[in-house]
Chains A and B, each alone.
Chain A
Amino acid sequence: MVSAPFQVSTKQDRGVDIILFSGRMDANSSPEGENAIQSLIRSGRTKIVVNVSGLSYISSSGLRVLLAGLKQVRQAGGDLRLSCLQPQVRDVITMTGFNRIFTIFEKEDEAVGSFSS
Chain B
Amino acid sequence: MTGWSHLTIRADRRNLGEVFGFLRQVLGEAGIHERLLPDLELAVEEAVVNIMAHAYPGGEGDLVLGVLTGPDHVTIEIRDRGVPFNPLLVPEPDTSAPLWEREIGGLGVHLIRSLMDEVSYEFRDGENILTLRKRRD
Whether A and B are associated in the same complex: the answer reads yes
Chain A positions near chain B (C-beta within 8 angstroms): 1, 3, 26-28, 56-57, 59-61, 63-64, 67, 70-71, 74, 88, 92, 95-97, 100-101
CB-CB contacts below 8 Å: B36-91 with A: 37-38, 41-42, 45-46, 49, 52
Tell me the minimal C-beta distance from A110 to chain B in angstroms: 21
Asked if A27 and B16 sit within 8 Å, CB to CB, the answer is yes
The majority secondary structure among interface residues of chain B is helix
Once A70-B99, A71-B99, A101-B102 are accepted as A-B contacts, the answer to whether A63 and B107 lie under 8 Å apart by CB is yes
Once A92-B111, A95-B114, A100-B96 are accepted as A-B contacts, the answer to whether A27 and B13 lie under 8 Å apart by CB is yes
Once A1-B24, A96-B111 are accepted as A-B contacts, the answer to whether A59 and B42 lie under 8 Å apart by CB is yes
Query: Would you mind naming 10 contact pairs between A and B with Cβ atoms under 8 Å apart?
Result: A26-B45, A57-B42, A59-B108, A59-B111, A61-B49, A67-B104, A71-B102, A95-B110, A95-B111, A96-B93
CA distance A96 to B97 in the complex (A): 11
Asked if A92 and B17 sit within 8 Å, CB to CB, the answer is no
Interface residues on B, range: 20 to 34
CA distance A96 to B115 in the complex (A): 11
Q: Identify the 8 closest CB pairs spanning chains A and B, nearest first.
A: A97-B95, A64-B104, A60-B108, A60-B107, A88-B38, A27-B49, A101-B99, A95-B114
Chain B residues in 8 Å Cβ range of A61 = 49
CA distance A97 to B102 in the complex (A): 10
Chain A residues in 8 Å Cβ range of B98 = 101
Asked if A3 and B20 sit within 8 Å, CB to CB, the answer is yes
Asked if B99 and A74 sit within 8 Å, CB to CB, the answer is yes
Asked if A28 and B13 sit within 8 Å, CB to CB, the answer is yes
CA distance A77 to B86 in the complex (A): 40
Chain A residues in 8 Å Cβ range of B93 = 96
Tell me the minimal C-beta distance from B56 to chain A in angstroms: 16
Asked if B38 and A57 sit within 8 Å, CB to CB, the answer is yes
Chain B residues in 8 Å Cβ range of A100 = 95-96
Q: A60-B107, A92-B42 are in contact. List 4 more A-B contacts (CB 8 A).
A: A26-B45, A28-B16, A63-B104, A88-B38
Chain B residues in 8 Å Cβ range of A1 = 24, 28, 34, 37
